[in-house]
Amino acid sequence: MKHFFCFSRKLLQPLVDVDLSDESFPISTTRLVKLAGRRLRAMRISFVGELGWELHVPQEACQDVYRALTEAGRAHGLRLAGYRAMYSLSAEKGYHLWHYDLRSDDNPVEAGLGFACRENGDYLGKEAVDERRKRGITRRLAYFVTNE
């Protein structure tokens, strides 16, 4: 399983001009990088439980970045998958998705997503998150697998 966990870093590291190590690029951080000679924003985040990055690519750079990624990915057996595959992987990990699994009246702590809510600083909804952490969970959103 470790091979899959590190796949995104093995693929991206030779293509970008920054260090992608845990120390240099911790989870939930973002920075501008150069890939295929193009400047783009990389965000280290994952909604499927694996080491991952979102790449926010300017429209005029999309083809160059796509080609560089797919070319480099051949050596690793990279295959394209539809966006809905992320929903399935998120479900397997137990990560709920906004507007897909969660509504505005759901609390992220009850959904098992408290790790995604920072404890320092202000943000919309922080008061409700802090209160839920303090008072404890009264309900929990969960996935179930059934055998038919």
Question: What is the CATH number for 43?
Answer: 3.30.1360.120
Q: Is the pLDDT of residue 1 over 90?
A: no
Are 113 and 66 within one domain? no
69 and 120 inside one domain:
no
DSSP for the chain, please give it.
Answer: -HHHHHHHHHHHGGGBSS--STTTS-TT-EEEEEETTEEEEEEE--SSSSS-EEEE--GGGHHHHHHHHHHHHHTTT-----THHHHHHHHHHT---BTTTB-TT--TTTTT-GGGS-SSS--TTHHHHHHHHHH--S----------
Work out the pLDDT band at 132, boundaries 50, 70, 90: very high
Same domain, 115 and 58: no
Nearest-Å Rg of the Cα atoms of the chain is 18
**pTM exceeding 0.85:** no
Do 13 and 67 lie in one domain? The reply is yes
Reading the block at residue 136, the tokens are 């404890």
Token representation of residue 44: 């280290």
Q: Kindly state whether residues 67 and 88 are assigned to the same domain.
A: no
Same domain membership, residue 66 and residue 43: yes
What percent of the chain shows pLDDT beyond 70? Answer: 95
52-64 pLDDT, tens digit per residue, is: 889 999 999 999 9
For residue 119, what are the contacts with CB-CB under 8 A and spacing of at least 6? 130
**Domain range for residue 108?**
84-135
- Of 47, 74, 101, which marks where a domain is finished? 74
Q: Between 96 and 132, where is the model more confident? A: 132
Same domain for 40 and 94? no
Structure tokens at 92: 């397997």
Domain count, the chain: 2
